[in-house]
Amino acid sequence: MFVLTMKSYFVSVSAPVFTGLWLALLSTASLAEAHFPRPAELQPDIDFWVRVYTEVDTRSGFIHDADQVTVVYETLPLKGDYHGDRKAMRAARSRYAKILRRLARDRNNLSAEEQRVLDLWGPATGNKRLLEAARSVRFQRGQSDRFRRGLARSGQWNTYIDSVLSERELPWELAILPHVESSFNPSAYSRVGAAGIWQFTRSTGRRYLTVDYVVDERMDPFAATVAAAQLLEHNYQLTGTWPLALTAYNHGASSMRRATRQLGTTDIARIVRNYKGRAFGFASRNFYVSFLAALEVSSDPERYFGVVDLASPVQYAEVEMPAYVPVGAFARAFDVAPDFLRPHNRALLEPIWRGKKRVPKGFTLRVPRDAVNGEPDVLLAAIPEELRFEEQTPDIFHTVVRGDTVSEIAHRYGHSIRDIVAMNGLNRRYQIRIGQVLRLPQEGEPQLASASTPPVRLVKVSTAGAQGELADAETPAADTGAAQAEQTVLGSMAGDQPVAEIQLLADPSDYTVASNHTIEVQASETLGHYAEWLDLRASHLRRINGRRYGRPVVIGQRLKLDFSHVAPEEFERRRIAYQKNLQQSFFMGWHIRSTRRHLVAEGDSLWELTHKKYRIPLWLLRQYNPDLDPDRLRPGMEIVVPELAEV
């Protein structure tokens, strides 16, 4: 099957016209204010981020207070030397912490520098607050050069993003979000694996996109834009306001719903100032105000940067692959180099471009229209039949044994370390464990083993796996139990939040333990699960909850738990690991394509809706209707149903 579409995704505009477009949009200020209010108490924070985006570049930054960001102690220049710059940052933070502790003890006989710091806070500031400030001195790197480059890059996708938002009737201001997330850098890849201009984590991305080690649509600005619109719309449906929906993009819908319940308000200013969630740190508290700052700067770029030349528009011929085809064969048929195609098809990953995997059947390749010499269907037909395959290039699996290292395995099979790391999602230390099964490309056979080389087990398959971060060190295989393996996955930090929470950002379910040691029962959980995660017997949990044997737990009810053997934090970690694995396994095979509204009819039940009518997991339906009481399903009620598409 061949599909050719001609799309002018982009509009070529000069900076003055660009500014005029934004000013025209800002003429609907009342509507914008309704969607994205600018509370007076948050204006100083917005002003701080405007300074970050326009006043200082990445070769310098502000030493400031993390809680009261308007207190800026100095602008610290950097030299571009990683270790030297980090040392300078630490020294500056230490210097101001020392001054603040001195001011908290005694304000007599101050030096000029000490007096300057005190003046920044004001003489009425109490000693307790100054001691707190000594613990919250922070460095914020400047972003003006990145922001300016982001403005120029945004010209490639502005028109397309606007069309997607308009089609879904979402606020146009959301098009600014990639400035905050990635500076519109399509190659952006964070230290926790968030990728592309919209910075999707792998688990959230898989809800809407194909994400494996062959294709990663998070890197495709077009596909990722549609996914971002879906996620933002979902967040809005769950939280009820756009400031909360935006903050949920960074912090998770469940956390924002928890904040509104605890504080009894949806007022973003009160939440930013008063919410004390465990993971609600600097990045989350500043996400909305930094978005408003980016909106302000983008609305009048000439004021801050002068003339900004936007990236040139591109018109694409889009060619749907009729079979699994090597990218080299496609490039030869269209008389272009593979490297020419690469920046226009960012979803295709390294194994494709290195010739170790084929472009998947059904994948749509983009070719700049002015590079297509002839009719695309004729060019496509020129690909020899012997280079059209019905299956993907199969993989080999290697079972890790004692003494194995990633580099040794790569050498043995004739592959690069980079390939093995990417195909198996290994962490930065290349950690592997005995019994772990590693995926390898098919080409290459193991070298003859020496007497000291342990045997290997090979299995040929043709399924896809997950892409992971590239590492910079490696560790020999060692015996690790399940609990330790989970720590490897969940133990690192990203911004303010544990990776466990970040990987469930799109899940609004509450997996936390309340202060009275109770939890809310979620779908796919049983009393046996809770007992296992608590290192207790299920009979003990039944007894403290007054439950008879054989009576199942009910979704949405609260249960009291016993944390005498396992701390609440460890219980949450184990619970989230279970839910993460459950959801990741499901989204390896399915995408959320869209949503629909269902009017509950007489005789409807959640079991009927999930198992027969829509054939979706109950936990997924609950995620789109977290306030739905399964015992109170009544005719005439409206529920949101996610519609799925097979990967």
Place of tokens 């269907």: 377
For residues 562 and 531, give the distance between their C-alpha atoms in angstroms, rounded to a whole number.
9
β-bridge partners, 475: 431
**Three-state secondary structure of 268-327:** HHHHHHHCCCCCCCHHHHCHHHHHHHHHHHHHCHHHHHCCCCCCCCCEEEEEECCCEECH
Beta carbons within 10 angstroms of residue 276's beta carbon: 8
Q: Which is the catalytic residue, given 173, 181, 233, 525?
A: 181
Place of tokens 């490897």: 488
Cα distances (angstroms) measured from residue 321 to each of 221, 263, 334, 636? 20, 53, 13, 45
For residues 427 and 474, give the distance between their C-alpha atoms in angstroms, rounded to a whole number.
9
Alpha helices per DSSP H over 588-632: 606-608, 618-624
Is 181 designated active site?
yes
For residues 102 and 175, give the distance between their C-alpha atoms in angstroms, rounded to a whole number.
46
Helix, strand and coil content of the chain, in percent to the nearest 5, comes to 45, 15, 40
For residues 137 and 104, give the distance between their C-alpha atoms in angstroms, rounded to a whole number.
15
At 159 the three-state DSSP class reads helix
Cα distances (angstroms) measured from residue 85 to each of 54, 79, 90, 137, 155? 21, 7, 9, 16, 33
- Residue 454: both structure tokens together: 């342990």
- Residue 468: both structure tokens together: 């992971």
Is residue 15 within 8 Å of residue 23, measured between CB atoms?
A: no
For residues 379 and 374, give the distance between their C-alpha atoms in angstroms, rounded to a whole number.
7
For residues 573 and 512, give the distance between their C-alpha atoms in angstroms, rounded to a whole number.
9
Is residue 221 within 8 Å of residue 156, measured between CB atoms?
A: yes
Beta carbons within 10 angstroms of residue 583's beta carbon: 23
Q: Are strands 638-646 and 590-599 parallel, antiparallel or unpaired?
A: antiparallel
For residues 472 and 308, give the distance between their C-alpha atoms in angstroms, rounded to a whole number.
37
- State the catalytic residues: 181
